[in-house]
Structure 1
């Protein structure tokens, strides 16, 4: 059975995490509950996540909005009508142009069906997504967490989440990936919601706060 979170159980999951982890409890005490960040399960959303790879949220959103302004609706069919020069005019790098076109072709050919992914397990979804050019574990993590709202994902490739964990746990900067993963294991089966709390902490320390978690991950 898939473990998911939604508006009806989100705060109660936060409370469960707070009961078992004093550092997460302190985040809620200081900053309140984190927003329930979510995105629709669409081609446009996946393009947006691809754009966010290794850049700021602001620049990714700027490129997405420029593309939307240019073609009105971001669909696989419309994207594939564009030439590389037109992508470049919408602030897409050559690499992300390639990834976006490949994703569009995969959806139109039936290689990937976003609606069908909603019924599959984390591992199967990850396997299907990472088989696509330009999509790695970080992109799959963001999709699982924000789009499908699967409850037990920790995005180890996400710098904001990892750095926030180190800060709230007072860990040295040289703390290893394996040590971070071991700490996150204590939040099973709600590692996604714990990550939301970490992002909430990260954002609350910054002014002004952007509308959604800052992420600089890999593919």
Structure 2
């Protein structure tokens, strides 16, 4: 049986998920440590990586992110440095014109101080999502994934993610045409650790 030691921040989540859902216990044993406990390179880095991830496979998105990081230099995305890259470089990396516009808009907001991610971290989930989705290219899915991986919020359920919905449907034996309310109801047993449950469900389909 896999479980973090008692002092680890994910220990309560693993204990809860194991007790609430025997099938989730199997996923925890199979896939081991949840990556949500790992500190992110930076909040801005996660935001840009999540924009890149939109509508792409994991492998393609990672390849584009790696190329962008190589073009920028360094180990994490930096707003001011990204703004120095020419559009033709960004297009050559594989970014669409739309994503270039979104990334530049977010970089400009962070570089100017209009978007202060450190201050935003102090806000509740709904306020963070509301602030982020005011920017072009940031929808509910992007905001929710950002909350999970950047701010490490423990109870996010990004149902806008098709892979996650498919995993929940199989895991909880929902009908193919089940409404969103059924997904939320099925996930109630994972509260207040739906982020961690989501991570394990993603791991199961990768």
Q: Do the structures match in fold with TM over 0.5?
A: yes
Please classify the TM superposition score into its range, dividing by the shorter chain length. Answer: 0.7 to 0.9
Return the offset for 1:141. 0.9
Q: Could you tell me the TM-score, scaled by structure 2's length?
A: 0.86
Correspondence 1:147 to 2:146: no
Q: SS where residue 132 of structure 1 aligns? A: coil
Note the alpha carbon deviations across 1:186-215, whole angstroms, 9 max, x for none.
322111112122123223xxxxxxxxxxxx
Q: SS where residue 35 of structure 2 aligns? A: coil
The corresponding residue for 1:212 is: none
Q: Write out aligned runs for 1:58-207 (5 A).
A: 58-73=59-74, 74-203=77-206
Question: Conserved in 2, the CA contact under 8 Å of 1:41 and 1:114?
Answer: no
Q: SS where residue 140 of structure 1 aligns? A: helix
Task: Give the Cα separation in 2 of the matches to 1:22 and 1:78.
Answer: 47
Q: SS where residue 12 of structure 1 aligns? A: helix
Task: Give the Cα separation in 2 of the matches to 1:137 and 1:10.
Answer: 25
Task: Give the Cα separation in 2 of the matches to 1:121 and 1:50.
Answer: 21
Question: Conserved in 1, the CA contact under 8 Å of 2:34 and 2:196?
Answer: no
The 3 A distance-change label for structure 1 pair 174 and 112 is: same
Flag structure 1 segments of 5+ consecutive residues without an equivalent: 1-6, 204-219
The answer to which structure has the higher helix fraction is 2
Question: Conserved in 2, the CA contact under 8 Å of 1:14 and 1:194?
Answer: no
Return the offset for 1:104. 0.8
Q: SS where residue 164 of structure 2 aligns? A: helix
Return the offset for 1:118. 2.2
The 3 A distance-change label for structure 1 pair 70 and 32 is: closer
Task: Give the Cα separation in 1 of the matches to 2:81 and 2:42.
Answer: 18
Note the alpha carbon deviations across 1:95-124, whole angstroms, 9 max, x for none.
100001100111122221111122221111
The corresponding residue for 2:3 is: none
Return the offset for 1:32. 5.1
- Alignment length, in residue pairs? 196
The 3 A distance-change label for structure 1 pair 177 and 86 is: same
Q: Extract structure 1 runs of 4+ deviating beyond 4 A.
A: none
Q: Could you tell me the TM-score, scaled by structure 1's length?
A: 0.82
Task: Give the Cα separation in 1 of the matches to 2:27 and 2:145.
Answer: 22
The corresponding residue for 1:22 is: 22
Return the offset for 1:181. 1.5
Task: Give the Cα separation in 1 of the matches to 2:17 and 2:195.
Answer: 11
Q: SS where residue 199 of structure 2 aligns? A: helix
The corresponding residue for 1:45 is: 46
Flag structure 2 segments of 5+ consecutive residues without an equivalent: 1-6
Q: SS where residue 46 of structure 1 aligns? A: helix
The 3 A distance-change label for structure 1 pair 98 and 174 is: same
RMSD: 1.9
